[in-house]
Structure 1
């Protein structure tokens, strides 16, 4: 509710109490309670300040209680003008400090006790007990409302914090995807460009082949970058665009990846054991990126090498292994750099395990294992 709406609602409440009290005074004038300009003015002072009960609750309470006590001390109707102070006390409990609430409760109890005790047939102890009950009820209601409002504010802050964390996570995910796409394709382009320049005059056919690999790699890189950047566009994609966005790659794209890397100079054998299964999109992309990063590292660090890629589908796991016969890792060096860190983060996200290093016979070996939950695929997405 906006501040204007709250002010209008409080103003309507104050107006209703003023008009209702005036009407009651007029109806009771035949019973020895004739209204006067002073009594009607005091009625306004008791109830009209409730319009500002949210902005200055304690001030409104003091004014309302003071006007009500004056009204009753002057002998006007003892049954009127006690609701305004009670509403003001509720407002103090809901919007002010506990100290102000305690002082306000004392003032309201005194005002209610005075007005009730001066009515015929009401004992002082009964008036005091009644006053304490209504004051406690008013304060309790105000405190409950204050707690609910505070809880609502905390929930809103937690929601905002969760939304910010989600944005940060999405940015990290997109940054990782961009790194994988750019690093892989630029590595292919760099290697092929160097080879093409070397054989440009001596072997035109090979140079032509390298240009084809460069063209294919750059085209695929641009398509994947466009797909990733389209996530950041708030507007809908332009369907008239001649170049549609590519779908998210996965293990079904391995054949194309292998062919491209073969054209770049690697000798690759791809083996699939077990019955291939439809994987959750996130895990499918993760497995593809691990193969892509592993082949990129072979191309960058091992030169022309033989690579063995083996996918093993087990009932409750997916095993992914990429092995090459290159020179391996120099002792003390950091294998794969940020690429290995990125692969580890991806595998951990899907509750898997990864091992990368040089076996005793040389080369380099990457082994990743993902648990599969046939009945809980949603948890992997």
Structure 2
């Protein structure tokens, strides 16, 4: 069962009552040490030297001043100084735990002067002992209060840094999810849009082509829904490992399915592979797959009468992915402004993915016509081992 932490005011009330009781008891036994017996004035001054401490968190300097004045009055009447010291000590600690070191040292000097004053007006106290005790107690109290203040400041700074890091992680995760949603929706909806236009165009003249287009629309929309469900499942799933194992991310092995959908959309695509095919880190393969997907989707949306080529080149330490087309512009006859300027959500997503995995990407028109996307991703000998460890 979890215990509740007492509220600060309740805790300070209990501490104040305990200190006041101890001070009264010390004042009562001071007679045995040769000090005057407590009277009504002494009890009132002892109360004023301790009871205000209950408000020390709300007004530390005011409380410190009140208890010091009450203590000086108590000492001036000739009573035992020790009985009035507890409240002022706690007040000094509170000031040091809230205010700067300069203010704390100033209050410590006031308290030290009060102790020296007690030694001066009393013949029974040794000045050497009084001064040494005053300096020692004030030093310990200021040092302890300063440590408490710095600890709170560090705790606040840590909480602020954690909150900021959490906001950055949330923003990064939102960006990743937005890229995934864009990749899924943009590609599949582009295929559906092209096939729907084709079906409407040949609806009355070519029933077979219409049925084929409707079948592609059905399959593509089903795949889009399945990928959206997978992304939503990842969002709801706390155990990312379990979510990934239940729905693996696309890899370069899925390129054939992607190219098939693009060909069905009316864009002939050729795939060529150079070098020795080998397993790469899952993130590298996902990055390469998404860039190919986005580039071919742009070909499908923005070009006409075009052929596309996808080339994978496996180097010793890097993977190069090139997607080119020989299109003559978008379906309105011009290259989109977002593509010319290097903007657009898809192109930004490609650049962010490449940057995330330490790669480079270039996007732009080709001198001989058409458009080219070239992605270079670093690989390492640990890529296969990383993938094996994730699939164990």
Instruction: Give the equivalent residue in structure 2 for 1:122.
Output: 126
Cα distance in 1, alignment partners of residues 373 and 364 from structure 2: 7
What is the CA deviation profile of residues 184-219 of structure 1, one whole-angstrom value per residue up to 9, with x for unaligned ones?
A: 111111111111111122211111111111111111
Q: Give unpaired runs (5+ residues) of structure 2.
A: 240-245
After TM superposition, the structure 1 stretch with the greater mean CA deviation from structure 2, 332-341 or 309-318, is 332-341
Cα distance in 1, alignment partners of residues 123 and 145 from structure 2: 28
Do the aligned partners of 1:78 and 1:119 also contact (CA within 8 Å) in 2?
no
CA distance 1:168–1:303, shift in 2 (3 Å):
same
Instruction: Give the equivalent residue in structure 2 for 1:86.
Output: 89
What is the CA deviation profile of residues 317-369 of structure 1, one whole-angstrom value per residue up to 9, with x for unaligned ones?
A: 11111122333686896447513333122212221111223333333221100
Cα distance in 2, alignment partners of residues 10 and 276 from structure 1: 72
Cα distance in 2, alignment partners of residues 17 and 196 from structure 1: 90
Partner of 1:80, secondary structure, is helix
CA distance 1:128–1:31, shift in 2 (3 Å):
closer
Cα distance in 1, alignment partners of residues 237 and 248 from structure 2: 19
Instruction: Give the equivalent residue in structure 2 for 1:135.
Output: 138
Cα distance in 2, alignment partners of residues 138 and 75 from structure 1: 26
Matched, 1:226 2:233: no
CA distance 1:68–1:188, shift in 2 (3 Å):
same
Do the aligned partners of 2:68 and 2:111 also contact (CA within 8 Å) in 1?
yes
Cα distance in 2, alignment partners of residues 234 and 372 from structure 1: 30
What is the CA deviation profile of residues 112-147 of structure 1, one whole-angstrom value per residue up to 9, with x for unaligned ones?
A: 112244262513x66345434432432233223222
**Matches for 1:1-381 after TM superposition, within 5 Å:** 5-33=7-35, 34-96=37-99, 100-117=103-120, 118=122, 120-123=124-127, 127-128=130-131, 130-233=133-236, 246-327=247-328, 334-335=339-340, 338=344, 339-375=346-382
Q: TM-score when scaled to structure 2?
A: 0.83
Do the aligned partners of 2:16 and 2:50 also contact (CA within 8 Å) in 1?
yes
Do the aligned partners of 1:328 and 1:358 also contact (CA within 8 Å) in 2?
no
Do the aligned partners of 2:302 and 2:336 also contact (CA within 8 Å) in 1?
no
Shift of 1:59: 1.5
Cα distance in 2, alignment partners of residues 219 and 322 from structure 1: 26
CA distance 1:120–1:139, shift in 2 (3 Å):
same
Do the aligned partners of 1:192 and 1:264 also contact (CA within 8 Å) in 2?
yes
Q: Give unpaired runs (5+ residues) of structure 1.
A: 237-244
Do the aligned partners of 1:79 and 1:115 also contact (CA within 8 Å) in 2?
no
Cα distance in 2, alignment partners of residues 225 and 332 from structure 1: 28
Counting matched residue pairs gives: 372
Instruction: Give the equivalent residue in structure 1 for 2:243.
Output: none
Cα distance in 2, alignment partners of residues 278 and 130 from structure 1: 75
After TM superposition, the structure 1 stretch with the greater mean CA deviation from structure 2, 365-374 or 132-141, is 132-141
Partner of 1:360, secondary structure, is coil
CA distance 1:363–1:30, shift in 2 (3 Å):
closer
CA distance 1:337–1:94, shift in 2 (3 Å):
closer
Do the aligned partners of 2:53 and 2:91 also contact (CA within 8 Å) in 1?
yes
Shift of 1:304: 4.9
Partner of 1:120, secondary structure, is coil
Do the aligned partners of 2:305 and 2:328 also contact (CA within 8 Å) in 1?
no
Q: TM-score when scaled to structure 1?
A: 0.85
Partner of 2:82, secondary structure, is coil
